[in-house]
Amino acid sequence: MSKNTMDELNALTDELSDVLEGAVEEALPLVEQEDTDLRNLEKATRAVMMRVGRRFLELLVEGSRPDEKEETVPCRCGGTAEFERNRAGTVITTFDQIEFIRGYYLCPECHEGTYPLDERLGLCAGGLSAALQETVALIGIHVPFEVSSELLERLTQVSISDNGVRESTECIGQERLEAEQALVDAAWDPDRFELPEGPEEPPERLYGSIDGTSVRTEEGWREAKLGSWYTTDKPPEREPLEEWTPRAEDISYYGDIKEAEKFGRLVYLKGRQQGVHEAEEIVFVADGAKWIWNVVEEHFPDAVQIVDWYHAAEHIWEVANTVYGEGSDAAQEWAEEQLDGLWEGDLTHVLQALRAQLNSDLEEDPARQAITYFENNRHRMRYPEFRAQGYQIGSGTIESGCKRVIGARLKQAGMTWTLEGARQMIKARSTYLSDEWNAFCNQRQPPRRTYSRCVA
């Protein structure tokens, strides 16, 4: 360690000691008050730690300044930026706003200014630090922005406006959106055709599922599509597969508001990231929506296709309640007989029973709708075969995902979103609920400002 470095560290230690000593002197009178309680002592301690931490961070930033004796530095345009002067800057951090001085350089060719210190540390002068932005967004994806602002201040003693919380949250979502779009563009570019690699150890059996839910936007109600890839736990050794209910594990979500065909591309690429191209077996479980199975058949033609058991059962119950009266014993008896037949794979018997309930007087006859549903999805309703293989036959994973990823944040009372804001929130929440938040934030580029001089 050089003598200069030791001198700088000693100077840093001395200044921090002075700051801490002054903060303690300010806090001591509080201890002497008879009505002081632990809450007030905690507040005082937090204030001291924020003050010390803020100054410590300022000193670390100051110590990170590059050698500014250089008269020029390289510019992004390929030219050379020349030293102009030292300038003050501020940035809001998790320790509140800090101040610093750094050198400013200006390129005479492109007229863009640069700060080597900002570039080195990823500073966004006048804005939020990357760490604070990610913290703010983490709160913003969970609760409404106006609540987020208050919650942030109570937890961190840092004040950010409602709009600032919104901007930080949407920024993370937009970056995720752009990363996924870049993935799609690279894969569908005939000159590049770059496909993502999967995990080092591909899963033996990989499940996929897709569903849609409505979101209110300024452009009207729009269908937000959500997909998931996941595995399940292992069956117990002594329990028959037919009696075992698999539970989803390692769930990865991805969502968007776009046409089914374009969303299908994202489904495919997200699947590759999870190892779908190397998995021994692919199983898709979803409801009977035609667009879903079109996506599956286009991108995963060899996948096992399973229509969610509970959606199929709902059609039977709707017919039973319409014909025999909701809640009646006759409706119960008829429905249970058809459900037993469906469970055991006797779909022919179920269809015969449904045809016997056709009613031409009804404009929207539930029996006719059920017949169409079962006939279109007959090959996806081989439930005895699926159970014997230990497959999951319910789409509860994706339905729960729609509630967690989309409903819990975007469908609260009175909420209306911009289309882009809804997409960004879906992207950000998908990232967090897929347990990918830390990994995504660690690789993202820090926020940056450009400094351009207007030239007459």
Domain ranges, residue 323: 311-380
224 and 290, same domain (yes or no)? yes
Q: 103 and 226 share a domain?
A: no
Instruction: Tell me whether residue 350 is in a domain.
Output: yes
Quick one: 55 and 82 in the same domain? no
Same domain, 108 and 137: yes
Centroid of chain to Cα 341: 41
Q: In whole angstroms, what is the distance from residue 211 CA to residue 395 CA?
A: 9
* Sequential pLDDT tens for the chain (456 residues): 345 556 666 777 777 788 778 777 777 777 777 777 888 888 888 888 888 889 889 988 888 887 666 788 888 888 999 998 899 999 999 999 999 999 999 999 998 888 889 888 988 888 999 999 999 999 999 999 999 999 999 988 999 999 999 999 999 999 999 999 999 999 999 999 999 999 999 999 999 999 999 999 999 999 999 999 999 998 877 667 667 788 999 999 999 999 999 999 999 999 999 999 999 999 999 999 999 999 999 999 999 999 999 999 999 999 999 999 999 999 999 999 999 999 999 999 999 999 999 998 898 999 999 999 999 999 999 999 999 999 999 999 999 999 999 999 999 999 999 999 999 999 999 999 999 999 999 998 876 665 555 444
Kindly state whether residues 446 and 370 are assigned to the same domain: no
Question: What is the spatial distance between Cα 115 and Cα 96, in angstroms, rounded to a whole number?
Answer: 22
If asked whether residues 347 and 424 sit together in one domain, one would say no
Q: Give the pLDDT of residue 107.
A: 93
pLDDT for 8 equals 63
Instruction: Tell me if 269 sits within 8 A of 196, measured CB to CB.
Output: yes
Q: Do 245 and 320 share a domain, yes or no?
A: no
Residues 76 and 163 in one domain: yes
Answer with the one of 380, 402, 425 that is the final residue of a domain: 380
Q: What is the pTM of this model?
A: 0.89
As for how many domains the chain has, the answer is 4
Note whether 76 and 150 are same-domain residues.
yes
389: in domain? no
What backbone torsions phi and psi does residue 405 show, to the nearest 5 degrees?
Answer: -75, -45
Q: Who contacts 287 (Cβ-Cβ below 8 Å, separation ≥6)?
A: 211, 307, 308, 311, 395
Task: Establish if 240 belongs to a structural domain.
Answer: yes
Closest to 370 (Cα-Cα) out of 291, 313, 442 = 313
**What residues have CB less than 8 Å from 205, skipping those under 6 apart?**
231, 232, 279, 280, 281, 282, 283
On whether residue 395 sits in a domain, the answer given is: no
Q: What's the rounded Cα separation, in Å, for the pair 249 and 246? A: 9
Let me know whether 446 and 426 are in one domain: no
Q: Which of 63, 86, 109 represents a domain boundary (last residue)?
A: 63
Q: What is the 3-state secondary structure (H, E, C) of the chain?
A: CCHHHHHHHHHHHHHHHHHHHHHHHHHHHHHHCCCCCHHHHHHHHHHHHHHHHHHHHHHHHHHCCCCCCCCEEECCCCCEEEEEEEEEEEEEEECEEEEEEEEEEECCCCCEEECHHHHHHCCCCCCECHHHHHHHHHHHCCCCHHHHHHHHHHHHCCCCCHHHHHHHHHHHHHHHHHHHHHHHHHHHCCCCCCCCCCCCCCCCEEEEEEEEEEEEECCEEEEEEEEEEEEECCCCCCCCHHHCCCCEEEEEEEEECCCHHHHHHHHHHHHHHCCCCCCCEEEEEECCCHHHHHHHHHHCCCCEEEECHHHHHHHHHHHHHHHHCCCCHHHHHHHHHHHHHHHCCCHHHHHHHHHCCCCCCCCCCHHHHHHHHHHHCHHHCCHHHHHHCCCCCCCHHHHHHHHHHHHHHHCCCCCCECHHHHHHHHHHHHHHHCCCHHHHHHHCCCCCCCEECCCC
> Is residue 236 situated within a structural domain?
yes
Question: Do the domain assignments include residue 407?
Answer: no
322 assigned to some structural domain: yes
Contact present, 59 and 101 (Cβ < 8 Å): no
Smallest CA-to-CA distance from 418 within 222, 169, 260 is with 222
Closest CA to 136 of 128, 116, 88: 128
Q: Are residues 296 and 327 in the same domain?
A: no
Q: What are phi and psi of 451, to 5 degrees?
A: -125, 105
Residues 329 and 284 in one domain: no
Sequence-distant (6+) residues with CB within 8 A of 440 are 172, 176, 431
Question: How far lies 352's CA from each of 15, 17, 341, 358, 371, in Å?
Answer: 87, 86, 11, 10, 9
Domain annotation covers residue 329 = yes
Phi, psi of 446 (to 5 degrees): -65, 155
Residues 6+ away with beta carbon under 8 Å from 191: none
> Which residues, in sequence order, are CB contacts of 109 under 8 Å at separation 6+?
75, 77, 79
Residue 248 near residue 397 (C-beta atoms within 8 A)? yes
